[in-house]
Amino acid sequence: MTTAIIALGTNIGDRRENLRAALRLLAERGARPVRVSSAWETPPMPAGQPEFLNAAVVVETDLDAASLLDATKAVERSLGRRPGEHWGPRPIDVDILFYDEERISEPGLAVPHPGVADRAFVLAPLSEAWRGPLPVLGTPAVELLKETDRSGLRRACSLPLP
């Protein structure tokens, strides 16, 4: 069994339900959620679109990294994500942040996820879902969060495990 950490983000449609549905669909596709953060409301990047709800989930899986990536993309498609504007509005975004202690650099998959250490919208939920030092990076998310711009970031609601 492998432990992976996944980031979820949504800024169109019923954002809370999008996050809940993503958690259920991950479980159905072999990535069983064992811990989930609160949903955090965050300013959009780039500006000019609706605010995001972001969360982090720790999963246990028997899937290898490539198969887990396939599962995350299937979840996105199931919830209406279609190819479009890079960093544009979307019903769901599902990203693998960490896959055990592995470093992976393949087409379409970079683990740890690029930018994870300096994005408040990732670090705030991550600091709730994973309390200790982050895999590969060795520093707790809460410590990295202290070094980021947290303006506009707020805890929105709790999320149940499916």
- Partners of residue 57 on adjacent β-strands: 6, 36
The pLDDT > 70 percentage for the chain reads 97
Q: Torsion over CA of 21, 27, 31 and 32, rounded to 10 degrees?
A: 110
- Partners of residue 104 on adjacent β-strands: 111
Which pLDDT does position 84 carry in this prediction?
Answer: 64
Catalytic residue positions? 81, 90, 93, 95
Place 30 in a pLDDT band, splitting at 50, 70 and 90.
very high
Measured between alpha carbons, how far is 104 from 20 in angstroms, rounded to an integer? 28
pLDDT of residue 44 exceeding 90, the answer is no
Arithmetic mean of pLDDT, 77-97: 83
Query: Model's pTM, two decimal places?
Result: 0.94
- Partners of residue 105 on adjacent β-strands: 110
Are 6 and 61 in contact by the 8 Å Cβ rule? The answer is no
Strand 31-36 relative to strand 52-61: parallel, antiparallel, unpaired? antiparallel
- Tell me the domains of the chain and their CATH numbers: 2-157 (3.30.70.560)
Arithmetic mean of pLDDT, 38-42: 95
Least confident of 13-22, 81-90, 106-115: 81-90
For residue 139, which amino acid is it?
A: T
Are 81 and 92 in contact by the 8 Å Cβ rule? The answer is yes
Residue 65 tokens, joined: 């990294």
pLDDT of residue 139 exceeding 90, the answer is yes
Least confident of 19-33, 57-71, 84-98: 84-98
Sequence-distant (≥ 6) Cβ neighbours of residue 114 within 8 angstroms: none
Which pLDDT does position 83 carry in this prediction?
Answer: 72
116: left (phi over 0), alpha (psi -120 to 50) or beta: alpha
pLDDT of residue 82 exceeding 80, the answer is no
Are 7 and 122 in contact by the 8 Å Cβ rule? The answer is yes
Encode burial over 114-138: b for 16+ CB neighbours within 10 A, e otherwise. Answer: eebbebbbbbbbbbbbbeeebbbee
Residue 35 belongs to what H/E stretch?
Answer: strand 31-36
